[in-house]
Every structure is written in C-alpha cells, then in structure tokens.
Structure 1
C-alpha cells in the first residue's frame, strides 16, 4: 500500500527468462496466488494483459527477478486504481480488430507473442495476448499468425451479432502495421519465402476475396495492439491506453 506508483506495468526490453544462478528462489505458493489474482484482474484491465501473461510463464519456479516484475504490475495498479473501460454509444455498428506480433521476443525459447484488440461500435470488447506454440521463422509468419487469430475473433463476434439480429455497417476491418504482411495477404502469387505461412495466407486471402474482411494499414504509433506484445515507454503506453477508451474515474473532471 505504501509503494511508489509505476508509469507502466512492465519494463521496456525486459529480459525475463530462465533465471541466473545467483537469482534467489521465492515462495512458489504465494507467487502463484498473487499472479492468479492478477490473471483474474486482467479480464477487466487490458492494459496489464501482456505483463501478466509474461510473469505467469514462471509460476512453476519463480525467482526474485520474476517477483520484481510482479511488484511493478502492483505499482502500476497503485497509480491507476480507478482505471477501467468506458463504453459509449457508437454512431456506426462496425467490427474492427488491431493485431500485432513481436518477432522472437522471448529470450528463453525465441517464440513470438501476438495480440489483438477487437472493437464493436468503437468500444473495446475482447482482447488477447498469447505466446506462440512454435518458433516463427520470420516476422511475416509471426504477423500472419496474429492476423489469423484476429480474423477468427472477428468471425466469432460476427456470428454472435447475427444471432442477436445485429447488422454490421460495412466489412470488418483488420488493422495491421506490417505492410509486407498486408501485401503478401493480397498477393495470390506463391513465393518460396512465404511457403511456411501458406495455410494462414490462404485463410486470410479467402476472407479478403469474399469482402468479409479488409486490411487497412495503421501506423506503429497508432497500433494499440503493441501493448499486448511488448513493454513500451511511458508516453507511448499512456497514449495507446487512451485509444482503448480506458478512463480513470478518480481523475479530476
């Protein structure tokens, strides 16, 4: 309760991985209970989803460095106790998703982390930060997996809305900040260097050809899914959190 608040839930370019020999072990049960509470909290706090996903990877053998990372999440929450998602009435009933991937970000096994945010009528409804099950052979492969996950989420939301008799305005939008991945998705020509992403490429191309999905380019500075794939500087982090329509009820009017 007396800690100094932190500006972000996780450090930039953090090196959390298998601990060094001089890294002392901490009580596993208390570490697991604490991280378990943070996992529960992340269901309503998308701004800590990536940080919680990182520390939860070390619940089997936590060390001092992992505990310090958890403490930083608590310090961030100390400074933002009233922050939450604000839902507002939108002018258009549109479905949008922002997808991103951090290529080979894990120093333990060099697996990538992908994330997506989905918005309905401008309001944040679902999000996910997930470490890949296998190592990506290129940044394009990592981005394609993120795009495929985002499209699957959009299709699932579309089915729910159809059951509720809600008609969408225009095609669903999948925002990506990787022009190479967007170009490959639209290009029907096979290339040797893209064979390893062939399944995801055909899946995405099928949805593009049907007009169900469009893939506008978004600049890295406006890519809100960056929060779900890496640690960011305080200024960039706060800017992107604001784009999620997260507001602090304790902030002065």
Structure 2
C-alpha cells in the first residue's frame, strides 16, 4: 500500500457493489496464512466490507497486482541447529482514521522464517503510544506462551525466556513494574498478564530501534526499501519453482 495514503469509511468516493469487493478481500485473507507481507494491507481492506468505495476497490486491486508480481515468493526456512523461538511486537498508535483506535501486530520466527503472525485493531482507544505498545506486547506474550507449550509437546522445550523485541522503552518498563500509577491504572486488567510472564521468565521484552523492528511491516504502510527489508526478515523470499509445478 502507498505509505502516504490513509483510508476511511466515508472518503467521498463513489460506492460500489460490495459483493465483488468482499469476494476479492476474502481471497486475500486466505492468502495471508502464508504471506505475512500482505497482512497489514488486507487488515485495512477488511474494515470496509460493509460499504466499500472505488478507492477501497482500487487498493484491493493494487494488493492483487503485488501478489501477481511476487507469485514466486514464499516463506523460506533454512536448516538450524536447535529450535529457538523469537518474537517481535509493534503498534500503530491511533492508526485508524475512523475511530482513532490503534493497530496491534506481532510475529514469531523460528530460524529464518515466520511461523506465526497477527495484525488486529485494538478494541479500545489507547491514550498514549506506550499504552498501545503495551497492549500489543501483551497479545504477543499470550501467543508466545502458547507456542512454547506446543514446542514442548513436540520435544523442543524452550529453556530460556522467549525474547520479544519492542521499540518502546516505556512499554518495556511498564511490563516490569508491578505498581499501578496514574498513567496505567485505567488499562484493563487482562493486559497486565505480561507482568506475570516476565516475572516467571517465560518471556523477556528487549528494546530494538524502530529501523530494526520487523513488526513495523505489519502495522503500517512503508516505503519500498523498508518494506523489502522487513519482508526479508519475515522469511518471505523469492525461490524457483520446482519443475512440473504449474501456478
């Protein structure tokens, strides 16, 4: 998607028949199960299923053109010694123009490729970027705990805390502070689950610069250079199809 373009429900453009739009976006939603690089764009498109406009339809066709141009791209996993789970969490504060709700996103890699990712608009309006990042980190923590249990059942128990990279120092400090103060007392109780998991050394939040935040590609539209860089870090790479395989 265009990094300078913002979409809203009432954009002034002519409305279209929603049936074709829903069919197109529904197919793209299915594709996000193996293409995390389009997860954010599809998440935005799903917000306009009720009354799509020509601009929304044009954005959906642009995603289809991107998919067509990268048909030989996919998640690529290389052999690794051992299984080490690593995650990243990010948010786009007040990213939705219509209701000013933030967008949460997280992803988890094993080795060179992503195995789990999620992009979701938050249920309530965050009063600060710290709160938005904290809510996103909690969602990532829940997923990390679940993935750790699956890996343990498969015989790959994680002996160390799972690292979750976050580009908000304030959110990291909040996850380690058991006290409720004026700026955090309004946050819903369920979002403080992360504090227990940090104390139990199930997860560990570590700081990374925004330029190195892989989840950035899951929360907002980026310029070509940044998008390509983070797409590679997700493990989405070009590869040659085997002989005899038709697309």
TM-score (norm 1): 0.90
Q: Is the 8 A contact 2:107 2:114 kept in 1?
A: yes
Note closer, same or farther for the CA distance 1:163–1:92 as it changes in structure 2 (3 Å cut).
closer
1:195 corresponds, among 185, 196, 199, to: 185
Indicate the larger mover: 159-168 or 67-76. Answer: 159-168
Residue 139 of structure 2 is matched in structure 1 by: 149
- Give me the whole-angstrom Cα distance separating, in 1, the residues matched to 2:80 and 2:43: 31
Residue 32 of structure 2 is matched in structure 1 by: 42
- Give me the whole-angstrom Cα distance separating, in 2, the residues matched to 1:63 and 1:202: 39
Residue 109 of structure 1 is matched in structure 2 by: 99
Q: Is the 8 A contact 2:9 2:51 kept in 1?
A: no
Asked if residue 183 in structure 1 is aligned to residue 173 in structure 2, the reply is yes
Q: Is the 8 A contact 1:24 1:63 kept in 2?
A: yes
Shift of 1:223: 0.6
Q: Is the 8 A contact 2:75 2:114 kept in 1?
A: yes
Residue 79 of structure 2 is matched in structure 1 by: 89
- Give me the whole-angstrom Cα distance separating, in 1, the residues matched to 2:212 and 2:131: 22
- Give me the whole-angstrom Cα distance separating, in 2, the residues matched to 1:125 and 1:46: 10
Asked if residue 18 in structure 1 is aligned to residue 24 in structure 2, the reply is no
**What secondary structure is seen at the aligned counterpart in 2 of 1:40?**
helix
1:72 corresponds, among 62, 66, 70, to: 62
Unaligned runs of 5+ in 1: 1-9
Runs in 1 of length 4+ with deviation above 3 angstroms? none
Note closer, same or farther for the CA distance 1:183–1:80 as it changes in structure 2 (3 Å cut).
same
Aligned positions, number: 241
Q: Is the 8 A contact 1:91 1:121 kept in 2?
A: no
Unaligned runs of 5+ in 2: 242-247
Q: Is the 8 A contact 2:105 2:136 kept in 1?
A: yes
- Give me the whole-angstrom Cα distance separating, in 2, the residues matched to 1:201 and 1:105: 20
**What secondary structure is seen at the aligned counterpart in 2 of 1:216?**
strand
Shift of 1:166: 1.8
Residue 244 of structure 2 is matched in structure 1 by: none
Asked if residue 222 in structure 1 is aligned to residue 245 in structure 2, the reply is no
Q: Is the 8 A contact 2:91 2:219 kept in 1?
A: yes
TM-score (norm 2): 0.92
Cα deviation code 1:173-212 (max 9, x no counterpart): 1110101111121223432111123625632121111111
